[in-house]
Amino acid sequence: MFTSPATSAPAACWACATVLGRSPLLCTACGKVQPVADSDYFQVFGLERKLGLDLAALEREFHRLSRKLHPDRFARATAQEQAWSLAATALLNDAYRTLRDPIQRTEYLLKLSGLKIGEENAGKSKAADRHPPADLLEEVFELNMQLEEMRMNQKMGEDDLSLQAGLTAARGKFEALLAEVDGDLAAKSAQWDAGDPATREKATNAMAALLDRRRYLRNLVRDVNEVLSTATT
């Protein structure tokens, strides 16, 4: 579901009535903080919805807006402006945190496009993350056996070096797969950024599948790391 179409009427500053510029959180004319509208994270930074981002520029803009919006700047302002500053800064921080990370940025953009991604809601079962991708079924099955055996061994206080070596090798393999997914994601992101609506839809679906695969692999690597780290201590 689309939250806010980018074509809504331009908003004006509550204090000086100037039409708001790039960032909807701040009036460039009088410098006053604005009540938080239904802005998405890209709008907060005055950015187009794109997956390719200049991170250094994003950080500079984050710092520039922080200087203007942060509650520390409003310690002597009215209660209303303090409340707006708090809401605007929270939105700014949430937006920066999401956009600076390529994976979170992609998930967010897909969510804006109406897809439900990952563990969005509290209490939602994590079963989807436990569903192995079809092409990896066999390997995952074998890995889980090894993990189980390793955990049993650890409980008994035994060390099985060949098992440990096997797991380390499997970890290397899955990490490589993870890197492959990241490469594919980057390629699809570029397609999305450059494409027409039809290309975008295709890229969106491909990225959603890649994100699921990535989440699955990441959990797998995490499990192996957990087991291996208890083995070495």
Binding stretches for another protein (CB under 8 A): 63, 66-67, 70-73, 75-76, 86-87, 89-91, 93-94, 96-97, 119, 121-124
Shortest spacing between CB 19 and another protein, in angstroms: 27
What Cα–Cα distance (Å) separates residue 182 from each residue in 46, 83, 135, 215? 27, 40, 17, 11
The Cα angle at residue 36 between residues 29 and 67, in degrees rounded to 5: 55
Cβ burial, residue 58 (10 Å; 0-12/13-18/19+): middle
Those residues whose C-beta lies under 8 Å from the C-beta of residue 66, and which sit 6 or more positions away, are 89, 92
- Given the complex with another protein, which of 56 and 198 has the nearer CB atom? 56
Half-sphere exposure (CA, 13 Å, Cβ side) for 184? 18
Shortest spacing between CB 65 and another protein, in angstroms: 11
Shortest spacing between CB 92 and another protein, in angstroms: 9
Shortest spacing between CB 123 and another protein, in angstroms: 4
Using alpha carbons, select from 176, 178, 144, 150 the residue that is nearest to residue 165.
Answer: 150
**Cβ 40 vs Cβ 30: under 8 Å:** no
Shortest spacing between CB 41 and another protein, in angstroms: 12
Shortest spacing between CB 121 and another protein, in angstroms: 6
Q: How far apart are CA 114 and CA 125, in angstroms?
A: 20
Tokens of 231: 């083995």
- Given the complex with another protein, which of 118 and 203 has the nearer CB atom? 118
Phi-psi sector, 8: left (phi>0), alpha (psi -120 to 50), beta: beta
